[in-house]
Structures are given as structure tokens and as C-alpha cells.
Structure 1
């Protein structure tokens, strides 16, 4: 087994970085979806949702940077082109979403896909003893589970 300068198995670290690139592409899609619904939301819930969507895309933008920096820390290159994101994303693309219910459902569906990826990365990072990635995924999951709960509560639905 070859260890990298972080003391982690080099092969496992490369695989984790590849998975993080899937997450990065998916987060970039989610982030752009949030910007789109922030700009295009209409109706009686405009004021509340407009502010909430800005809060969410600001947070997503921070997470995008954290994911890219983690990939770099692991010695790999983060994806950074739109064409790579489109090919790699696991999050649905929301186009011309302006109705409140549709926008919130897009958020729930997007976060669900992010959570699936994050749990896979969490498992793999745990097996590789990669505490840095493990901690990041754990933090992301905790925050996003709460967001899904709140969005579902807004929709009048349960988890």
C-alpha cells in the first residue's frame, strides 16, 4: 500500500477525490438551480422565498469552494468547466422554474441526490480513515437533512 503525504492510502484517496468531483458537479448544478429560482420566483410567497433561496445559494457557493479545496488537498484536480458539470451531475437541472411549490420540490429533489452522494463518500472516507472528508460530509449531511425537513414542512409533507 502506498501512502500519500497525508498518510492516507493513495489509491483510496484518488477514488474519494473522484467521488468528490461528482459531488462538486452536482453542487454546482444545485447552486445554479437556486440562483435561477431566486431570480424567477413569482407569486404570493415571493418575498420569503426570494430571501430563502439567496441564503441557500450563498451556502451552496461556500460548499462548492470547500469541496474543490478538499479535492485539491487530496492531491487531485477539481472539475471546473460547465461541460464537465453537465456530464457529471446527479442533480436534476431546473429550467424556468417560477412557481413556489415547484421551486421547493426542486430543492428537495436536489438535496436528496446530494445526500445520496454524500453518504456514499462518508462511507468510503470512513473506510479509508480520511477524517477530513468524513467530517465535511457529516457536517453537510446534518445541515441538509434540516433543510429537507424545513422544505417538506413548507410543502406540508413529511420526510
Structure 2
């Protein structure tokens, strides 16, 4: 007995959704790891604000990782759990040591651009598969991320204090 036997979804179409969710999972894992580094390494003028913001963002990313992995399981597949596989799959690359808040924000905005594009693709595929649950999940991600992008762009105008 499989979960998919009860969901009423076209398994062939769902496999395209799962494939993109798997890439999103890898993207989110690398994004999460980068945020941890930003949190640990930030220095200078924006330290207090960005140290807290990075922590907020990595906690949120950890929740999203779990939600995506669980959705993959609900759709009858197994999520990847090896970091080496994430690094091969993710479009987001590992960041080096980033101590300047402005540089961290720029890298975050690049990551959001990647995440948002992937999530829009997932919504399109999930809509085609009539998978409203995935559409709802990813739409919620987008709503939060678009607001965060707006806020980061507003903060980005600050220059780095050496």
C-alpha cells in the first residue's frame, strides 16, 4: 500500500513535481548552511541587526527543509539526506567566509532569486498535476520570501564599515 494510492494524483505528473522539490531541498540546505556561516562571521556596523536576522532566516530555512522533505515523502518518494548530493544538485553554491553585512545581503538576494525561480516552476508543475497541497506550501514560501527580498533591498543601501 502506498500513499499515492489515496491522493488521487497523476503519478507521472507528480514525478516532475518531486524532481523539482528535490532540487529545492538541495537549494534550501545549501542556503541554510550559508546563513549559519553569515550569522557566525558577520562583523562591523550591521552586526547586531544582521546577526539576529541571519538567525531568524536560518531557523525559517530549517523549517522549510523539513516541510519540503516531508512533502516529497507524502508524494511517495524519498528525500535526499546526503550533503554531498545537495552540493552536486543545488543551484545555490557554498559561500566562503562573509563578514560584511552588505556582501551577505547581496548573496542572500542571489539565493532568493534562485529559490523564487525554482518555487515558481514547482507551482506551475504542481498546478498541472492538480497538486493543490504543494501549490499552497510553495505559495506560502513565496509570500514570505518576496517580503524578505523587499526588506533586504531596503537595507542593502547601507555601505560596509571597515
TM range (shorter): over 0.9
Gaps of 5+ in 1: none
Across the aligned residues of Structure 1 and Structure 2, the Cα RMSD in angstroms comes to 1.2
Q: What is the CA–CA distance in structure 2 between the aligned matches of 1:93 and 1:110, rounded to whole Å? A: 11
Q: CA deviation at 1:92?
A: 2.8
Asked if the contact 1:4/1:10 (under 8 Å) is kept, the reply is: no
Larger relative contact order (C-alpha < 8 A, sep ≥ 6)?
A: 2
**Any idea what SS the aligned residue of 1:5 has?**
helix
Asked if the contact 1:40/1:98 (under 8 Å) is kept, the reply is: yes
Q: CA deviation at 1:88?
A: 0.5
Deviation per CA, 1:86-122: give whole Å up to 9, x if none.
Answer: 0100113211111111001111100110000000000
Number of aligned residue pairs: 155
1:97 aligned partner: 98
Q: CA deviation at 1:5?
A: 2.5
* Mapping for residues 9-158 of structure 1, pairs under 5 Å: 9-156=10-157
Q: What is the CA–CA distance in structure 1 between the aligned matches of 2:63 and 2:153, rounded to whole Å? A: 24
TM-score normalised according to structure 2 size: 0.93
**Any idea what SS the aligned residue of 2:70 has?**
helix
Q: What is the CA–CA distance in structure 2 between the aligned matches of 1:38 and 1:4, rounded to whole Å? A: 44
Q: CA deviation at 1:83?
A: 1.0
**Any idea what SS the aligned residue of 2:39 has?**
helix
TM-score normalised according to structure 1 size: 0.94
